């Protein structure tokens, strides 16, 4: 019984071990989905924003491939996420409507 509780705790801890960057990417992807559902993003805008998120994910994977993400790589990834966040905001608040 104690082993089951201990293993459950380890699994829960690992699930909570998302990095700040992963949480931010998930929030941005959720913003895109919300924009699609509400109609504030057109299909084309959503596709472009999703493609941008895919490029960021690929850059994160490439940076982590050697087992360590340098400060320079972190700064670059942060700037990519900042740009994506700005693009999401602009697309959601322009005059175009999806639907």
b/e code 54-76 from CB counts within 10 Å (16+ = b) = eebeeebeebeeeeebeeebeee
For 56-78, the pLDDT digits (tens) are 999 999 999 999 999 999 999 99
Mean pLDDT of 4-18: 57
Mean pLDDT of 23-39: 95
Q: Of 89 and 18, which is predicted with more confidence?
A: 89
Domain residue spans of the chain: 20-92
b/e code 15-47 from CB counts within 10 Å (16+ = b) = eeeeeebeebbeebbebbeebbeeebbbeebbe
> Does 87 score more than 60 pLDDT?
yes
């Amino acid at each position: 019984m104690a082993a089951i509780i201990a293993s459950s705790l380890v699994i829960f801890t690992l699930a909570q071990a998302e990095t700040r960057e992963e949480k931010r990417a998930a929030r941005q992807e959720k913003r895109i989905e919300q924009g699609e559902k509400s109609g504030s993003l057109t299909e084309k805008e959503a596709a472009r924003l999703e493609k941008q998120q895919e490029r960021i994910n690929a850059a994160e994977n490439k940076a982590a491939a050697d087992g360590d993400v340098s400060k320079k790589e972190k700064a670059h990834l942060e700037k990519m996420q900042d740009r994506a966040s700005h693009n999401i905001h602009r697309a959601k608040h322009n005059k175009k409507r999806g639907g």
